[in-house]
A and B are shown apart, each in its own frame.
Chain A
Amino acid sequence: MKITKDAEKLEFYFNENITAPIVKDLKEEIKETLEQNNEYNHVVANLSEVDYIDSTGITLIIGIYKSVEESGKKLTVTGAREEIKNLFSIIRLDEIFTVQ
């Protein structure tokens, strides 16, 4: 996973499928990054290279949202494939955060 920052947003770029073991590894990193970069208002989760996301992965995204939202920030999910977009749409996550 790559973390990039620019003027407006903090981006988590996932370059592999988000599955349980990955989540386990990544979540600490994400958590710390978020805590340390509190000044950003906009967090982006980039799923351009994600082919597959499992239930834990979904939980992770939501977890990110929760953290972000707590501090009044916004979360956007970008680059999601059709299928994953569809998934988010079904479970209505696209109503909580933006999915592009």
Chain B
Amino acid sequence: MIHNEEFINEFIEEAESHLQMVETGLLAMEEGKMNKENINNIFRSIHSIKGTAGFFGLDRIVELAHIMENLLGEVRNEKIQPDSVMVDLLLTGNDQLKAMVDDVFNSHEYDVSKLVESMSNLMEGKEATSNDEAQKKESETTVTSTETHETVLTINSKQREQIEDAKKHGHYLYRVKIGINKDIGAKEISPIRFFKKIQSVGEIVDSYTDISDIKSLDSVMDADVYFSFVFTTVLEKKLLPIALDIEDDTIEELNLDEQLSKELITTLSEDEESSKETEETENDVTEEAEVHFEEEQDEPNQEETLEEVTESQEIQSSASAKKPAAVSTVEDSVRVHVSLLNDLLNLASEMVLGRNQLLRNIEEHRKEISGLDAILQNIDRVTTELQEKVMQTRMQPVGNVFNKMPRVIRDLSKKLGKEVELNIEGSHVELDKSIIESLSDPLTHLIRNAVDHGLESPDKRKKSGKTPSGQVDLKAYHESGYVHIDIVDDGAGIDAEKIKNKALEKGLVSESDLKNMSDQEILQLLMMPGFSTAEKITDVSGRGVGMDVVKTNIEKLGGTIEITTKLGEGTTFRMILPLTLAIIPSLIVEVDEFKFALPQVNLQEMVRLKTGDETKKIEYVHNAQVLRLRGKLLPIVHLGKVLGLESHKIKEINQEIDDITRILVLKVGSKRFGLVVDHIYDEEEILVKPLPKFFKNCQCYSGVTIMGDGKTAMILDPEGIVAKASLRFMDEQTKASEREASAQLNELKEMQNMLIFKCSGEETFGIDLSLVSRVEEINSDSIDHIGNKEYIQHRGEALRVVRPESYLPVTKKDNNPRKLYVIIPKLVKNPIGIIIEKIHDTIMTSIKLNQEDIKGKGLLGSTIINDKIVLLINIYELFEMVSPEEYENQSLKISSNDRTILLAEDTPFFARLTKNYLEWAGYHVISVMNGQEALDALKEKPVDLVLSDIQMPVMDGLELVRNIRKDPDLAALPVVALTSMTSEKDREMGKEAGFDFYEFKLDKATILSTLKNAFEMRGETV
């Protein structure tokens, strides 16, 4: 049962902080840094946790903390020497405490008995102590020092009330120790005045006077009366010495600890003895001379202080007089709930925007109204400062997240048997709280990587002349407005070749892509989704975090990751993060009268195209629009189209508004593309408001903002736009001159994407990728045999599969590999899977078909790729051979000849393929590359039917058919569309434009029958 639940969050925060310190301390202890300070810190932290846990009634936590405290107490008293086993045990205990604190409401269900037992055994095995006695007295309310966390005194319930009341009013609790002569008399202050002052600034809770120094009248002139008191006051620690006119070091700030819900003990008589153990001998002071009511349940140290004071005049040497150690101290700080800070930040940001608006609107009148200028300047300045300061409240040192790493390294290095030295720099560098929080996982992952994959084993290192212990540096520093976090290892480095190969293997990239990648881009492949297989999910990192998730997380924060490496020497992962979040500069753009905000961070440049300007033009490559910009080619996306805005569905070619096309060049990661919009407005600083969850399926938006006119506007997410538009990024090649670029463009037009593969024999085959729906890996066992036919289960249905070498005039071998691949074709009515043994490559290359040399049914021809002969498969013929019943249909052939078909198709492969079966069916075929050429051809020679692709450069199919219909000579011509765009809308558009029929590109049988229909329709008999 938990008491005082409303304060539980504070407990958790504090406890977590303590537990972190304990971990750091334990690790240091293991490394031999066994100094007293360290141990004391650890002890105090555990003690504090125990105390506050008791306040809440968290029994299990108290139980475990208690035993740990005992153990640590023994270490502190040097009764036990800590060894690796003990440290491990303590670390485990600490972890368990962490777990319980995280799950505080269920903490009572955790079983800590085993740990407790282990620790008890450990202690017993070393030495039994009587510390237990002292510990069990800790059931009263105690007051402890915030600096030393030691118990100062025990108070009764009345006093507790007093303190609590004071605390409620925001008062502080202090202990002041003075020698009346030394501190008051020496300054010639009247003691009456002094004590009056104390009473006026606060309330004394308890006090203790030590007159033991005065032995007799003789010593009156030299002796001193020592007075220590605990009191509450509203004064801050800094002000107190000034107010009372005493030295800082006489004052100590205190905390109120309460343990368990037991009633408080008020009586004196108990157990002074237990705490006075070793001090007995020094304790000359007779009990009577000491004036004190309450028991001092002090640690020996505490007791020491007062005793020492009487013995010798040295006051400074003991624990409580020590200056606060490395442990974080409570110095003039205030606890504020994070939500309050967030609200403040929002308000400050709105203030900034309001100020911007105000300044903008009132700009003209600035001079008119007297005094206005100065006022505006003031508001301007104050607002800026306000925002900056509020931002600062959310800044936290990156060390908060860094200090988790030593543990990660320790555990990992033990697990892997590698020695690792961790060097941390720049812990003080500050970042916004939310960034810090999001860094934990990625950082852990990168560190793990460095140790796991980066560093070599000690043996290997020795062999290469390196120190057996590997070095990992974790650095944070500022640079040009960003914070850099470097994770550097001096390990084996990353082999770019291996990355290339793996990426190819996984089909993430093609050979030609690779050729044009910079070193950085190749390394970035590491972080592509799907790159690494099964990331090991260890306890240390907790969740399975792949490198791609790391990258995404960093990018979500507005940052980037860079990788540099040197084989044999090491690798550096660099995270570059922005300092702040909420307000970002952006550009307001408009499409179809909808306004959007585009974050500036992605914007590279703005391009305005005027029709007729040859230097900047939109071209077509492979059915996609590209912008040629200074020799480079950028894929183009129409924002309206991506957002599904009505008027944009029809547009395909340059649609101009006032003859100008406005394109924004955006950069996402290492990819660039152009975004076409209708209007571009001003730059504005906008406040990013989170995207309501109802829009989570809209990839294109990353947030909402409220513009100056009070209307909401969506914030565009370039990455989402890219994903939605499914851009295939093409290689941008840097060319010196326009001509070269132009030539290159032409080359690109003829290039096709080919899948190169091998069957069981020697020959290499190729097939156009657009014919391929997917390639699947299968086990040869999973092929079912029915009769002499082979099938596999594909998507819940049986798919017929064939081996090309069984039908084609090529070699066949019985290799019987276990692993096979199946090419599932696209755009075919009754698909048959093609079994192949090895995938070579996917390349983009221009095809020069040699149809004469190698011929055979099922083969379209051959071509040379990379000095190899590649046989191009004619999928139709192959299928016909396999299932003649389905595919061959003589009725599709036409009886009479002399029907000429004009085929407009820009892809050579398809052109060839289609021409092939058209000719097989008995037609004459004239083949052209685009709509314009088609029109030209029509002028020269009459044809009987036009078969056209839709997506073509220069003039597309839609426009072609419109032109045909416009021309009285041609209007009656049957025109059939042959395309891969087959949605209802496309069909409608096609019909509207004037096509008689609209057909699927590769459905040979249907096409041929449609052609027949088309002829009939136009009133001719076939």
Determine whether A2 belongs to the interface, using a CB cutoff of 8 Å to chain B.
Answer: no
Q: Which residues of A contact B191 (CB under 8 A)?
A: 53-55, 58, 87
Query: Which A residue's beta carbon lies closest to that of B211?
Result: A62
Question: Which B residues lie within 8 Å of A56 (CB)?
Answer: 181, 185, 220-221
**Which residues of A lie under 8 Å from residue B188 when comparing CB positions?**
54
- A52, B211: Cβ atoms under 8 Å? no
Partner-contacting stretch, out of B222-230, B320-328, B406-414, B855-863? B222-230
**A27 and B190 contact, Cβ closer than 8 Å, known pairs A63-B214, A63-B216, A92-B291:** no
User: What residues of A have a CB within 8 angstroms of the CB of B225 in the complex?
Assistant: 55, 58-59, 62, 91
Known: A24-B221, A60-B217. 9 other contacts (CB 8 A): A31-B218, A52-B192, A58-B191, A63-B216, A63-B219, A67-B216, A91-B209, A93-B209, A96-B211
The 9 closest A-B pairs by CB, nearest first: A55-B185, A63-B220, A31-B217, A55-B180, A63-B217, A55-B181, A90-B195, A92-B291, A92-B209
**Is the Cβ of A84 less than 8 Å from the Cβ of B192?**
yes
CB of B204 closer than 8 Å to a CB of A: yes
Query: CB-defined interface of B220-242 with A at 8 Å, one 1/0 digit per residue?
Result: 11011101000000000000000
Instruction: Select which of B217, B219, B223 is within 8 A of A34 by beta carbon.
Output: B217
Query: Does A59 contact B214, Cβ atoms closer than 8 Å?
Result: yes
A96 to B214, CA, bound (A): 14
CB-defined contacts of A30 to chain B, threshold 8 Å: 217
Q: Tally A-B pairs: CB < 8 A.
A: 92
The reply on A6 being an interface residue by CB < 8 A is: no
Interface positions of B from 139 to 189, Cβ below 8 Å from A: 180-181, 184-185, 188
For the complex formed, measure the closest distance between the CB of A88 and the CB atoms of chain B, giving whole angstroms: 10
Q: Could you list some 20 contacts between A and B, CB below 8 A? A: A24-B221, A27-B217, A55-B181, A55-B184, A55-B225, A56-B185, A58-B180, A58-B191, A59-B180, A59-B214, A59-B220, A59-B223, A59-B225, A62-B225, A63-B223, A64-B217, A87-B191, A87-B192, A91-B227, A92-B291
B770 CB–A CB distance under 8 Å: no
Closest to A65 in B: B211
A41 CA / B156 CA spacing, docked (Å): 36
Q: Is the CB of A23 within 8 A of B207?
A: no
Residues of B within 8 A of A53 (CB): 191-192
With A66-B215, A93-B209 already in contact, the answer to whether A60 and B220 are too (CB < 8 A) is yes
Instruction: Identify which of A23, A27, A53, A58 gathers the most chain B CB atoms within 10 Å of its CB.
Output: A58
A95 at the interface (CB under 8 A from B): yes
Residues of B within 8 A of A66 (CB): 211, 214-217
Residues of B within 8 A of A86 (CB): 192, 195-196
Give 1 or 0 for each of B463-477: 1 = CB within 8 Å of chain A CB.
Answer: 000000000000000
- In Å, the complex CA distance between A18 and B225 comes to 16
Q: Is B830 an interface residue (CB 8 A)?
A: no
In angstroms, how far is the closest chain B Cβ from the Cβ of A98? 14
The verdict on A83 contacting chain B, using a C-beta distance below 8 Å, is yes
Q: Is the CB of B209 within 8 A of A27?
A: no
Main secondary structure of the interface of A (DSSP, over half): helix
B residues near A (Cβ < 8 Å) are 180-181, 184-185, 188, 190-192, 195-196, 198-199, 204, 207-209, 211, 214-221, 223-225, 227, 291
**How big is the A interface, by class?**
20 to 34
Q: In the bound complex, how far is the Cα of B185 from the Cα of A23, in angstroms?
A: 13
CA–CA, A20 to B208, complex, Å?
24
Interface string of A38-75 (1 = CB under 8 A from B): 00000000000000111110111011111100100000
- Residue in B199, B215, B218, B220 whose beta carbon sits within 8 Å of that of A90 in the complex: B199
List, in ascending order, chain A residues with CB within 8 A of B211's CB.
62, 65-66, 96
Which one of B207, B217, B291 has the highest number of Cβ atoms from chain A below 10 Å of its Cβ?
B217
On whether the beta carbons of B185 and A20 are closer than 8 Å, the reply is: yes
Task: Give chain A residues whose Cβ lies under 8 Å from the Cβ of B204.
Answer: 90
- A92 — which chain B residues lie within 8 A by C-beta? 207-209, 291
Determine the chain A residues whose CB is within 8 A of the CB of B217 once the complex forms: 27, 30-31, 34, 60, 63-64, 66-67
Q: How far is the CA of A84 from the CA of B198 in the complex (A)?
A: 15
Collect the chain B residues with CB atoms within 8 Å of residue A23's CB.
Answer: 220-221
User: B199: shortest Cβ distance to chain A, in Å?
Assistant: 7
Give CA–CA (A54, B191) in the complex, Å.
6
CB neighbours of B220 from chain A (8 A): 23, 27, 56, 59-60, 62-63
CA of A96 to CA of B225, assembled, Å = 14
Chain B residues contacting A87 (CB-CB under 8 Å) are 191-192, 195
**Do A83 and B181 have beta carbons less than 8 Å apart?**
no
**Which residues of A lie under 8 Å from residue B224 when comparing CB positions?**
59
Complex formed: what's the CA distance from A86 to B196 in Å? 9
Q: Tell me how far the C-beta of B725 lies from the nearest C-beta in chain A, rounded to whole angstroms.
A: 81
- Chain A residues lying within 8 Å of B190, measured Cβ to Cβ, are 52, 54
Chain B residues with Cβ under 8 A from A63's Cβ? 214, 216-217, 219-220, 223
CA A64 – CA B223 in complex, angstroms? 13
Q: When chains A and B are docked, how far (Å) is the Cα of A3 from the Cα of B688?
A: 87
Give the docked Cα–Cα distance between A6 and B126 (Å). Answer: 68
Whose C-beta in chain A lies nearest to the C-beta of B204? A90
Return chain A residues, CB-CB under 8 Å to B199: 90
Contacting pair A91 B195 (CB below 8 A): yes
Q: Return chain A residues, CB-CB under 8 Å to B223.
A: 59, 63
CB distance from A90 to the nearest CB of B (A): 5
A31-B215 Cα distance, complex, nearest whole Å? 13
Give the complex CA separation of A54 and B190 in angstroms. Answer: 6
CB distance from B813 to the nearest CB of A (A): 106
Q: Shortest beta-carbon distance, B285 to chain A, in Å?
A: 12
Q: Which of chain B's residues have a CB closer than 8 A to the CB of A91? A: 180, 195, 207, 209, 225, 227
A residues in contact with B198, CB < 8 Å? 90
- Please give, as numbers and ranges, the residues of chain B lying within 8 Å of A24 by CB-CB distance: 221
> Which residues of B are found within 8 Å of A55, using beta-carbon distances?
180-181, 184-185, 191, 225
Q: How far is the CA of A87 from the CA of B225 in the complex (A)?
A: 13
In the complex, A21 Cα to B207 Cα: how many Å? Answer: 29
Task: Say yes or no: A27-B195 contact (C-beta < 8 A), given A62-B211, A62-B214, A92-B207.
Answer: no
* A66, B212: Cα distance in complex, Å: 9
Residues from chain A with Cβ under 8 Å of B185 in the complex: 20, 54-56
CA separation between A53 and B185, bound complex, in Å?
Answer: 10
Question: Nearest-CB distance from B774 to chain A (Å)?
Answer: 89
How far is the CB of B250 from the nearest CB of chain A, in Å? 14
- Residues in A with CB closer than 8 Å to B214 are 59, 62-63, 66
Who on chain B is nearest to A68 by CB? B217
- A67 and B215 CA atoms in complex are apart in Å by 8
- How does the 8 Å CB contact mask read for A8-22 relative to B, with 1 for contact and 0 for none? 000000000000100
Report the bound CA distance from A55 to B227 in whole Å. Answer: 12
- A31–B227 alpha-carbon span in the complex (Å): 25
Q: How far is the CA of A1 from the CA of B188 in the complex (A)?
A: 23
Q: Which residues of A contact B184 (CB under 8 A)?
A: 55
The complex places the Cα of A14 from the Cα of B225 at a distance, in Å, of: 21
A27/B215 in contact, CB under 8 A = no
Give the docked Cα–Cα distance between A83 and B194 (Å): 11
Query: Which residues from B are CB-within-8-Å of A27?
Result: 217-218, 220-221
**A residues within 8 A CB of B195?**
86-87, 90-91
In the complex, what distance in Å separates the CA atom of A27 from the CA atom of B223? 13
A5 to B191, CA, bound (A): 30
B932 to chain A, nearest CB (A): 106
Q: How far is the CA of A56 from the CA of B225 in the complex (A)?
A: 9
State how many angstroms separate the Cβ of A3 from the closest Cβ of chain B.
Answer: 14
Bound together, the chains give a CA A66 to CA B79 distance in angstroms of 41
Nearest chain B CB to A21's CB is how many angstroms away?
11
CB-defined contacts of B207 to chain A, threshold 8 Å: 90-92
A32, closest chain B residue (CB): B217
Kindly report which residue of chain B lies nearest to residue A60, judged by CB atoms: B220
Complex Cα distance, B219 from A92, in Å, reads 21
Of all chain B residues, which has the CB nearest A28? B217
CB distance from B816 to the nearest CB of A (A): 100
- Hey, which chain B residues are within 8 Å of A31, CB to CB? 216-218
A87 to B195: give the CA distance in the assembly, Å: 7
Cα(A56)–Cα(B218), bound, Å: 13
Contacts of B209 in A (CB 8 A): 91-93
B226 to chain A, nearest CB (A): 10
